[in-house]
Structure formats: structure tokens, C-alpha cells
Amino acid sequence: MANRTPPRNAASDVSALTEKLGVFIDPELLDVALTHRSYAYEHGGITHNERLEFLGDSVLGLAVTITLFRENPDLSEGELAKRRAAVVSTVALAEVARQIGLGPFIRLGRGEVLTGGNDKSSILADTVEAIIGATYLAAGQQAATALVLRLLRPLLEDPERFGAAMDPKTSLQEALAGTGAPAPEYTILASGPDHQRVFDATVRAGDVVTGTGSGTSKKTAEMAAALDAWTQLTGRD
């Protein structure tokens, strides 16, 4: 991949992120992984992370599939597929991104910055996949698989979180019912042009909990908000 990213500087230092990832990725390649198309278009059409995202999606899927298959010999094909879908979902990957503090490192165009793009679930999840793709290119499949497992191991080892990641709205409602709290209420705000619409959701359950999330569809945004609220309510990190 030809590199056309601007030179690195102190403001773009990602050593703290590299330390959290636990793997060395060539700085120029990591820059690409962290570059959203909105930033690329504003800087002369430099290379952005969508090709790496495409690669990382495949590496992620294979790593999770093999791990689930090997570690769950008694699960049916249907249950394995359900768990895989939960682990690689936008909601789950965005949660992982927030846990490692990825948002501030993503390079975004001005419009995305103004609309809170550094915390949008879709952008966070896509960037995680791009980083996985960059790891594959920089260090090989074994290192990329190890990165996937480091990032997703808490989810893989928490059966309840499978359900929350797969259907966070139901999980939230069930958790609230156990506390006697009122039913959750969702509000949605849309922003951006029609061809690049972004939805921001807020879910409230009285004074008990408030969760927020975003996505490229109303459903995704509500799921992200529900998972945020469920995580707060259950005390899971």
C-alpha cells in the first residue's frame, strides 16, 4: 500500500495506543489505520483506512471463529454463529475501542469532529478492524490473531455479555426489570447529509441510568446506547 499520509508529529504520537495494543505496527501503517476518509478527503485524498478495515474484518472473523470452535466443543453451529455475530458486531467492537481509549487517536475531518465522530460506534468499530488489518500486514497472522484475542477475551469469557452485545436492548430491559426501574425510553437525533447519515441515541430509565450511543442507523445507535446503559447498570468494565 502506497503511503501518502502527512509526516508524524508530536500531536499525532500514538505510543500510548501502541502500548495498549501490545504489538508494534509500523508508524506510517498505523497512521493509515487511524485515518478516516473524512480526514483523507480534507487533506488531498491521502490514503485512509477502508482497505485495512476490509482486511481486518476477515482476520477478525477467522480468529473469532477458530477460537469459539476450539473452546466450545459442545455448542451447536447455530449457537457458535450467534456468539460470533455478537463478538464481531459494531456495538461490541466500539465497546472495545472505548476501553482502550481509541477515539482521540482517530484522525477525522472537521465535520466529523464537530459531530463527535471520535465516539461514534461505527467509526470506532471500523478503526478497530483497520488496526487489526494493519497488524496483519506489519506482524503477520499470528500477531493479528493474538491482538484480536487480547481485545476480545473479556467478551469471549463472559457469557452474559454475549447476550448483551447481541441484543443489548433486551438485556437492558431485563436488567432494569430486576431493579424495579421504569422501562427504558429512547430518543434519537440525526445529523449529516442523507448519504452519510449518523444517528445519536440516548436511553433513559427514570433516574436509574442514562446511556448514549451512535451509529449509521437508528437501530445501531439504540443498541450502542442500550449496551452503554447495561454496562453501567451491571458494573461491567
Catalytic center residues: 57, 129
| 50 assigned binding-site residue | no
The residue length of the chain stands at 237
CB count, 10 Å around CB of 17? 17
The answer to whether 167 is annotated as binding is: no
Indicate the residue type of 234: T
Euclidean distance between CA atoms 151 and 159, whole angstroms: 16
Residue 161 has φ and ψ, to the nearest 5°, of: -70, -25
- For the chain, state the CA radius of gyration: 18
Among 17, 182, 218, 162, which residue's Cα sits nearest to residue 100? Answer: 17
Residue 222 is assigned to a ligand binding site: no
H or E stretch covering 190: strand 185-191
Please tell me the distance from the alpha carbon of residue 220 to that of residue 200, in angstroms, as a whole number. 9
- Residues belonging to the binding site are 53, 126, 129
- Residues belonging to the binding site for Mg(2+) are 53, 126, 129
